[in-house]
Amino acid sequence: MPAVVLVTGFEPFGEHAVNPSWEIAKTLSGLRIGDAFVVARELPVHYKHCTQLLGSLWEEHEDVRFAIHCGVGRAGAIRLEQRARNGPYVRLDNQGQTPVGGVCAPDAAGRLERLTPIDAEAVAAVCRCSAIPVETSNDAGLYLCEFSLFTSLHLAKAPAMFVHVPPVGQPCPLPLLRDTVQRIVECVAQQLGNCGSALAPVTPTVKAHIKVGCGVFVTSPRHPGCVIMGRRLAAHSDGNPHGKGTYALPGGSVEFGETFEACAAREVLEECGLVITDVRRLATFDIIKPEDGYHCVVLIMAGSLADDQAEPVNCEPRKCGGWFWHPWHAPLPKPAFSSLQHCKDANISPFGASGGGGGG
């Protein structure tokens, strides 16, 4: 029998009337990866039946080189799961059931978790030039996604990894998701070096892209002449380190189908826990930093607090060191994020007439 690469996706469940993981997996069926061929299967969102189907798949194919299980996750990025836990699985499946004892494998001999032997960090690093952010994760969600990964790792027939894809259109169309998942499969094959000499070197399937983001001046009559700033602790969602450790306005990437005003309001709520009104655009900057591999069109927005007494809360402590009010007429804290420095240099202000933007 020919060598096989297993790629699985899940059936629809909950709010996902169409599950992009299976829509992607089925298009990869028959794809040649070196001397192996992709075999794609749809997994049920049912603990017992999922265990049975995975067991039969591993038994049916004698020469499985590796397995990539796919499922739908949060919006924004593709996440490569590095570990799977044996439980507790308490969330009900499509049949309203949970596994016996709340665990995946009762015979796991005290193994609370298993780690993928695939170097997910290396795969993510290779794929970071893709149009969709690719990240690693250590929390697969304790539902059927993590359950399927633990099952395959526990069977220990061949290396396995789980890939969480975002819902379609959040922010990525299905063809782009499919191309990126295929590239991940190719990267894993090349890393493991067990799919024969026919596997060509992995080359980018998606060109580097321009990001569109926003920075938001948040004002309050309780803090006249001041705006909210914070210190960035994390890299961008696509792994680009540009701006890490700098002081910046609240803000982030514009999602597919989202207006600039909606993006500004969403980012301030997600990052600071604040609701803003009178959202408006002040300027646009085209920021190009070739040395950092960074090119972003940044919309500078402004908005006032809906509640004059509200204060910012650090809702994402892994990404921000904390929010504070800073007088806009005062010198910027150093180092300043590029778009914030552009605002200062161009005399952009949420408190009156100002310039209208510029280049990088």
Give the three-state DSSP class for 120. Answer: helix
Strands 211-219 and 251-253: antiparallel
CB 67 within 8 A of CB 162: no
Distance CA 285, CA 274 (A): 25
CA angle 172, 79, 196 (to 5 degrees): 100
Distance CA 190, CA 182 (A): 12
Estimate to the nearest angstrom the gap between the alpha carbon of 97 and the chain centroid.
29
Is residue 81 part of the annotated active site? The answer reads yes
Catalytic residue among 50, 104, 127, 145: 145
Helices (H), the chain: 20-28, 47-60, 120-127, 144-155, 174-192, 260-272, 338-345
In this structure, what DSSP letter does residue 317 have? T
Is residue 16 part of the annotated active site? The answer reads no
DSSP sequence for 198-251? TPPPP--SS----EEEEEEEEE-TTSTTEEEEEEE-S--TTS--TTTT-EE-SE
Q: Kind and range of the H or E element at 71?
A: strand 64-72
Give the three-state DSSP class for 90. Answer: coil
Residue linked to tokens 């990869």: 28
Question: Sheet harboring 357-359: ordered strands across?
Answer: 251-253, 211-219, 294-305, 276-289, 357-359
Distance CA 191, CA 178 (A): 20
Catalytic residue among 69, 154, 164, 326: 164
Catalytic residue among 23, 61, 70, 81: 81
What amino acid positions are annotated as catalytic residues?
81, 145, 164
